[in-house]
Chains A and B, each alone.
Chain A
Amino acid sequence: MNTKISVGVLGIQGDIEENKTVAQEALIHSNVKGDVKFVRYAEEIEKIDGLILPGGESTVISTLATIQGGILHTIKRRIAEGMPVLGTCAGMIMLAKRAYDRVVGETRQQLLSNLDIVVERNAFGRQDDSFEAKLSIPILGKNNKFFKGVFIRAPIVIEVGAAVDIIAKFNNRIVGVRQGNVIGTSFHPELSGDDRIHRQFIKTVLDCKRHKGAQQI
């Protein structure tokens, strides 16, 4: 089957170019036909098969996504309908039900709530506490190759719902989750020079599109 997929990167703020580059590499390495583009408007979000919510400042992305034609609602609806999503760092915060900050408590930001998790923002501290560490992520296959986790003012997951699978842990802290077609990571897979997480996401998008196609026939 020669299914073509269209992946969107929410192109409002953050490391959007890095996510686009890695997603393009992941398409090539997975031998999947498709394209990756930035999406900033509701009509663009309606047309894609999968969405990447990049790293950046979650307060800024959600503020802009709320005022600008309410695209937050469109994203939320499409995820609820089954569109696969990958949220890295700020992207995972946006997907969460609730977010706390280590210093100021529960934040007032608008969240998508598609992932049944509670996150703590800046959980490891400020930029001085940002770090790189080796992670073991079993869903990436059995070749035992560590994944370089790049944690920049990173959040952690402090509560997960029953439907959520934990895909990565760092010292007993949850740093990667999956609920159906929604993947969230505390770290930045787009910065580690390793496209395995993005390939996993591309696979999810492809499976989802094929499944939908099969239903329609």
Chain B
Amino acid sequence: MTISLVAAEYEPKGIRSTTFDKTVVLRGTTLLKRGFAHMQKHGVIMDVTNVEQSQIAEDAGAVAVMVLDKLPYDVRKSGGVARTASVKIIEDIMDAVTIPIMAKCRIGHVSEANVLASTGVDMIDESEVLTPADDLRHIWKWDYTVPFVNGAKNLGEALRRIEEGCAMIRTKGEPGTGNVAEAVSHIKLVNNAVRWIASISDDHQELIRAARELRVSLPIVEETARLGRLPVVNFAAGGISTPADASFLMNLGCDGVFVGSGIFKADDAAQRAKAVVLATAYYDNPKIVVEAQKMVDEKKSMLGLDTKNLELKMQERGPSV
């Protein structure tokens, strides 16, 4: 896979041409934003809420940390409005670890995104784990120099987010449940749709029909057909709790995984974090996945929630287009 540069046909405001010691340099290009996401591949991005957790994550081999105010499980428990994390905590974490730092903002909340961008986080997650702030539109991410990641539960959603300028997709599961079932079904849904698009790649009329059905523009459907995969890096997220979960999702063709509550809601966080990293990198080697699985104790896994009778379905939140 090489980096796909398919984009909305317009001059993104997020690209800044600046000088660096009198030399002209370009920042915020699609190549740099998607390139950053490509560097995360085959890695584990861990949700953290404080400096201590971020250091445990870094030592375990997390490829980046995602800062949020409450872990998804606690968001469910506490109810109320979930907002972006305190700037102070984000800054403290930046001073404590060398790996990239991501943070979540509410869907459509341009101001929270601006705040995060000016703190200097490496990537912003416009996330349904927080309470959506706009029911009609997502953030227009081409306006930013910093790259974004968005959730998606089917191909149409994923391609619409890419059209808005996101540099990375995470296939939605049901966060905070400790249950991978939703993540698994959405990845299969996306994969099947990509296979369908690839199978009609030489039929222009059918591609136009597909674009209408998916409610996206034609160029991005053509690009998906050409590549036979999503045009940006795709990570799995939502409900991953054990090394075997991570290996399972990697085997379904994801480029990496996000782990939310699964690590820091377990009673063996440091050890579990290492085990998930190992099982993600060596997902296709059953012997190493067994080794990783031995590093964790199932009695210490988070108990988890049944995804059937949830009061709050996070994956359903946010604008439908």
Contacts and interface: CB of A to CB of B under 8 A. Distances in A.
B1 to A, nearest CB: 4
Interface in A1-34: 11-18, 21-22
Contact of B123 (A11, A22, A63, A127): A127
B43 A60 contact: yes
B54 to A, nearest CB: 12
Contacts of A21: 1-2
Contact of A128 (B25, B31, B42, B146): B146
Contact of A127 (B1, B22, B58, B122): B122
A103 interface: yes
Contact of A107 (B41, B98, B274): B98
A133 B101 CA distance: 24
A131 B25 contact: yes
Interface size class of B (residues with CB under 8 A): 35 or more
Contact of A12 (B35, B38, B281): B281
Interface string B87-112: 00000001111111100000000000
A90 B63 CA distance: 12
Given A63-B61, A64-B281, A126-B120, A57 B32 contact: no
Given A129-B27, A133-B26, A64 B100 contact: no
A194 interface: no
Contacts of A188: 35
A186 interface: no
Interface in B112-132: 117, 120-123
Given A104-B96, A128-B120, A153-B122, A57 B26 contact: no
Contacts of B277: 60, 63-64
Given A68-B282, A150-B32, A13 B43 contact: yes
Contacts of B82: none
A55 B2 CA distance: 13
Contacts of B60: 63
B94 A152 contact: no
Interface string B267-293: 000000010011001100000100000
Interface in B241-255: none
B31 A12 contact: no
Interface size class of A (residues with CB under 8 A): 35 or more
B72 interface: no
Contacts of B117: 128
Given A18-B1, A126-B120, A104 B39 contact: no
A133 B25 contact: yes
B64 interface: yes
Interface string B13-40: 0000000111111111101100110111
Contacts of B179: none
Given A15-B41, A60-B277, A132-B26, A68 B98 contact: no
B42 A127 contact: no
A101 interface: yes
A15 B38 contact: yes
Contacts of A170: 23
A56 B64 CA distance: 11
A132 B1 contact: no
A16 B123 CA distance: 21
A90 B29 CA distance: 21
B64 A103 contact: no
Nearest to B21: A171
Given A13-B41, A122-B98, A153-B36, A131 B20 contact: yes
Contacts of A193: 2
B145 interface: yes
A186 to B, nearest CB: 13
B36 A133 contact: no
Q: Which 4 A-B pairs have the closest CB atoms?
A: A127-B122, A131-B25, A63-B61, A171-B21
Given A60-B99, A67-B274, A133-B23, 9 more contacts: A13-B43, A13-B63, A14-B41, A21-B1, A56-B63, A68-B288, A121-B98, A129-B27, A132-B31
Interface of B: 1-3, 20-29, 31-32, 35-36, 38-43, 58, 60-64, 94-101, 117, 120-123, 145-147, 274, 277-278, 281-282, 288
